């Protein structure tokens, strides 16, 4: 018979699992679902000039993306359970008292987490493209060669474990407030949705700005789904530039995809979804 402490502890772990699963489900439904509805259902004709060129998208892709995304939710929930266990055991640097470090560190911790995650993502992503690991870890995600926001969480369970691994890495390495971690995770998923959007949303001036050397775009990640062996980064275009893994035509493609205004003055004529769909 467990003690009261044991029962409370087990309840906290169970709550962490269900909270993590439900929170990721909410993000997926509202962020990925909204982006998919707006760009791929409501405005595809008006945004056709901003569509990133790709291969025909098979009709079954959405069902597969959603199914694998649902499995990823449970793995992310299980990861949060493990993180809560480690936090309660006193093994991590996560803190709950905001006054312990104040606003200065809270704000500074966000870009630090993003840089750490970008490094984690680049090198684990590139590793999963190794011929001995690709089929087991990453092939499922690349089944969607013409991705949409619904592809954002479409990982093989093994890859989902790798993707979720950044959470434990952060809380073991950095003192981070739990609310900053929630903001970081939301930024991470928003970037993931943008990378799989299928439409380039950056303005034309971005191509001529030094910012293009820093931040990644939809074109960048969409090109990765098309060519497989380039463009491994997440938030920033730094590691790809340093390691020479940017696609040689990336900047040309980005300039072409951003040349026209995001929304033309009037809707284009015609019906359909505006996206490439194969029979």
Nearest in space to 34 (alpha carbons), one of 140, 141, 152, 159: 152
With cut-offs at 50, 70 and 90, classify the pLDDT of residue 278.
Answer: very low
pLDDT at 1 over 80: no
Three-state secondary-structure class, residue 137: helix
- 183-217 confidence digits (pLDDT tens): 999 999 999 999 999 999 999 999 999 999 999 99
Q: Is 246 among the domain residues?
A: no
Q: Is 213 among the domain residues?
A: no
- 25-56 confidence digits (pLDDT tens): 999 999 999 999 999 999 998 999 999 987 77
Q: Is 244 among the domain residues?
A: no
Residues 6+ apart with CB under 8 A from 67: none
Q: Is 217 among the domain residues?
A: no
Give the single-character DSSP code of 58.
E
Q: Is 68 among the domain residues?
A: yes
Report the domain count for the chain.
1
Q: Is 112 among the domain residues?
A: yes
Beta bridge partners of 277: 57
- 48-73 confidence digits (pLDDT tens): 999 998 777 777 899 999 999 999 99
Q: Is 47 among the domain residues?
A: yes
pLDDT score for 9: 80
Q: Contact, 222 vs 52, CB < 8 A?
A: yes
With cut-offs at 50, 70 and 90, classify the pLDDT of residue 265.
Answer: low
Q: Contact, 73 vs 153, CB < 8 A?
A: yes
- 79-133 confidence digits (pLDDT tens): 999 999 999 999 999 999 999 999 999 999 999 999 999 999 999 999 999 999 9
Can you tell me the mean pLDDT for 220-225? Answer: 97
Core vs surface per residue 206-216: b (16+ CB within 10 A) or e? bbeeeebeebb
Residues 6+ apart with CB under 8 A from 141: 151, 154, 155, 156, 159
Specify burial of residue 250 (Cβ count, 10 A radius: 0-12, 13-18, 19+): buried
Q: Is 239 among the domain residues?
A: no
pLDDT score for 275: 53
The CA distance from 177 to 5, in Å, is: 25
pLDDT at 7 over 80: no
By residue range, what is the domain housing residue 189? Answer: 4-202
Can you tell me the mean pLDDT for 152-177? Answer: 98
pLDDT at 6 over 90: no
User: Cα-flanking dihedrals φ and ψ of residue 38, to 5°?
Assistant: -65, -50
pTM of the model as a whole: 0.91
Beta bridge partners of 236: 215
């Amino acid at each position: 018979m467990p003690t009261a402490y044991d029962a409370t502890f087990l309840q906290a772990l169970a709550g962490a699992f269900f909270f993590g699963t439900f929170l990721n489900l909410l993000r997926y439904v509202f962020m990925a679902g909204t982006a998919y509805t707006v760009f791929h259902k409501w405005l595809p004709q008006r945004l056709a000039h901003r569509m990133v060129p790709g291969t025909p998208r098979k009709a079954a892709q959405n069902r597969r993306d959603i199914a694998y995304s649902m499995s990823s939710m449970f793995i992310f929930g299980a990861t949060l359970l493990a993180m809560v266990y480690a936090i309660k055991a006193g093994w991590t640097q996560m803190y709950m008292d905001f006054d312990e470090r104040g606003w200065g560190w809270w704000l500074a911790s966000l870009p630090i987490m993003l840089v750490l995650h970008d490094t984690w993502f680049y090198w684990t992503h590139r590793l999963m493209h190794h011929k001995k690991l690709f089929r087991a870890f990453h092939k499922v995600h690349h089944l969607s060669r013409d991705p949409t926001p619904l592809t954002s969480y479409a990982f093989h369970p093994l890859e989902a474990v790798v993707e979720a691994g950044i959470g434990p890495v952060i809380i073991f390495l950095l003192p981070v407030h739990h609310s900053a971690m929630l903001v970081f995770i939301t930024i991470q998923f928003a970037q993931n949705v943008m990378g799989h959007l299928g439409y380039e949303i950056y303005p034309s001036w971005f191509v001529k700005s030094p910012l293009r050397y820093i931040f990644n775009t939809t074109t960048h990640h969409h090109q990765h789904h098309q060519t497989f062996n380039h463009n491994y980064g997440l938030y920033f275009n730094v590691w790809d530039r340093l390691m020479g893994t940017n696609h040689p035509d990336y900047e040309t493609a980005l300039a072409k995809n951003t040349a026209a205004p995001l929304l033309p003055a009037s809707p284009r004529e015609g019906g359909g979804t505006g996206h490439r769909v194969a029979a």
